[in-house]
Amino acid sequence: MSSRFWHGFADMHVIKDAEVVFRSAEGVWLEATDGRRFLDTTAALWYCAVGYGRREIADAVAEQLTRIAAYSSFGPYTTEPTVQLAERLASMAPIDDAVVFFGSGGSDAVDTAAKLARRYWDVVGRPEKRIIVSREHGYHGMHAWGTSLAGIPGNKAGYGGEIIDEVVTVGLNDTESLGALFERRAGEIAAFIGEPVVGAGGVYPPEPSYWAEVQRLCREHDVLLIADEVITAFGRTGSMWGSLRYGIEPDMILFAKAVTSGYMPLGGVLVGPRVSEPFWAGSAPGPMFVHGYTYSGHAAACAAANANLDILEREGLVERVASLESDFEARIRRLADAPLVGEIRTVGFTAAVPITADALAGDASLPAKVVAAALRHGIATRVLRGHAIHISPAFTITQDEVDTMVDGLRAAFEEVAGSVG
Ligand SMILES: Cc1ncc(COP(=O)(O)O)c(C=O)c1O
């Protein structure tokens, strides 16, 4: 019998006998309460960029908690680390003159951006532009907006239809249908949202001309472009922003995860001048964005982000990902000849190692079996969209540790293949 904790994305019938409880972590290594150690292949949920056990971030948070833990950001109020972080993110962002709206994670950021896109068109006199277009395999969090925008059918089924029905999903790299959709309905479309690299849907880097064409179509049809960089911001692809790597010029950028490396929950939206202008320029009274969360701009979370970004910069971790990208890929591709393994996809410090379609057709639970076997070989990982093993370690992982991860995963694939027969 497990604890009373209801796990996310989990069949509790299975998990109630298989809960893994961690008590500490250092670098890329996790320790469970029963003493077992695991190499963390995924930086938890893609977020722990700087690795575990960073005293410097803990100290910054402790210092902030004792000074002023948090305060309302509604109306005129805010706190020092919040404005410092907003300034810093705006100066780092690949959007000139951006402003920042904070929330507690990626799903908050998605809701904020989706509402702001619609509100923007409302205040500029085009309230009929309400549809948000997303793409196949896209993951945009689990709030109501994100659930509806999902391009992963399993994540949106079972709620009695679309929660928010003004969404349209197009194919992963399909700019032709996107163009045709814009041609027909641009007058009703508020925004296009996409991850620079599809993450939770299975690590799909874009085709070379994809983002340039999306950019062109959005400009031509006056559709806002939202880059969901909850995974790609702060270096996962070897660029500080996925938008930089792929030449995207978004109107809004969503971030979360690696902004604090998960030491505190934080996310937000970098909003470019086109969208912020009606709400900021001119004199009062003016239109408002009536939105905000209790913990928007939480002081201790922002202090964690500031300390985390100091580490990323001081240790050159984004540059490290860029310089080791091909070495990382070569090491991961050693799994290509392991049993059950299909076509591996990698970019930056992330990869998906799929199970072949044939093997999955015979047994859809193979990925879960590989994850369970990996735990027996000292490797903590998880399944991406029912078909692949997820790899996205901390940016600090050593090459030896990458080899340990690959060896452990190979042993897991071999063990499962052996029992399949
Ligand atoms: C691209 C993307 N957007 C949004 C989210 C939602 O973030 P959160 O789980 O912090 O709400 C995620 C989470 O994995 C994500 O990968």
- Mean pLDDT, range 329-341, rounded to an integer: 98
Q: What is the pLDDT of residue 324?
A: 98
Does residue 2 carry a pLDDT above 80?
A: no
**Cβ of 268 below 6 Å from ligand 1:** no
Using the mean position of ligand 1's atoms as its centre, give its distance from the Cα of residue 206 in Å.
19
For the stretch 82-117, pLDDT in tens is 999 999 999 999 999 999 999 999 999 999 999 999
Burial class of residue 339 (count of CB atoms within 10 Å of its CB; 0-12, 13-18, 19+): middle
**Cβ of 347 below 6 Å from ligand 1:** no
Q: What is the pLDDT of residue 161?
A: 86
* Secondary structure element (H or E) that encloses residue 100, with its range: strand 99-103
- Supply 170's token pair: 């197009």
Atom of ligand 1 nearest to the CA of 106: 7
For the stretch 350-387, pLDDT in tens is 999 999 999 999 999 999 999 999 999 999 999 999 99
- In order of 159, 223, 302, the CA distances from 38 in angstroms are 36, 45, 29
The C-alpha atoms of residue 385 and residue 350 are separated, in whole angstroms, by: 15
Using the mean position of ligand 1's atoms as its centre, give its distance from the Cα of residue 106 in Å.
4
Atom of ligand 1 nearest to the CA of 228: 1
What are the start-end ranges of the H helices in 188-298? 210-221, 242-245, 273-280
Residue 184 gets the label, from left (phi > 0), alpha (psi -120 to 50) or beta, of alpha
Of 104, 92, 93, give the one whose Cα is nearest residue 272.
93
Atom of ligand 1 nearest to the CA of 143: 11
Nearest CA to ligand 1 atom 12: 141
The C-alpha atoms of residue 395 and residue 397 are separated, in whole angstroms, by: 6
Sign of the torsion angle spanned by Cα atoms 232, 238, 239, 242? negative
The C-alpha atoms of residue 12 and residue 398 are separated, in whole angstroms, by: 35
**Cβ of 199 below 6 Å from ligand 1:** yes
For the stretch 392-402, pLDDT in tens is 999 999 999 99
User: To 5 degrees, how large is the angle CA 222–CA 226–CA 230?
Assistant: 175
- Supply 23's token pair: 């008590």
**Average per-residue pLDDT in the chain?**
97
Contact of 200 with 152, CB cutoff 8 Å: yes
**Cβ of 350 below 6 Å from ligand 1:** no
The C-alpha atoms of residue 73 and residue 296 are separated, in whole angstroms, by: 6
How long, in residues, is the chain?
A: 421
Of 342, 301, 331, give the one whose Cα is nearest residue 393.
331
User: To 5 degrees, how large is the angle CA 138–CA 142–CA 146?
Assistant: 50
Cβ contacts of 161 within 8 Å, gap of 6 or more: none
**Cβ of 200 below 6 Å from ligand 1:** yes
pTM above 0.85, yes or no: yes
- In order of 10, 205, 245, 329, the CA distances from 212 in angstroms are 38, 14, 12, 25
Cβ contacts of 18 within 8 Å, gap of 6 or more: 2, 372
For the stretch 175-202, pLDDT in tens is 999 999 999 999 999 999 999 999 999 9
For the stretch 124-154, pLDDT in tens is 999 999 999 999 999 999 999 999 999 999 9
Burial class of residue 218 (count of CB atoms within 10 Å of its CB; 0-12, 13-18, 19+): buried
pLDDT band at 221 (very low <50, low <70, confident <90, very high): very high
- Mean pLDDT, range 292-296, rounded to an integer: 98
Contact of 129 with 189, CB cutoff 8 Å: yes
Residue labelled with tokens 């190499």:
39
Of 377, 376, 356, 375, give the one whose Cα is nearest residue 420.
356
The C-alpha atoms of residue 292 and residue 87 are separated, in whole angstroms, by: 19
The C-alpha atoms of residue 73 and residue 285 are separated, in whole angstroms, by: 19
Cβ contacts of 14 within 8 Å, gap of 6 or more: none
Atom of ligand 1 nearest to the CA of 110: 4
| Cis before 285? omega within 30 | yes
Lowest model confidence (mean pLDDT) among 4-13, 230-239, 262-271, 323-332: 4-13
Q: What is the pLDDT of residue 419?
A: 83
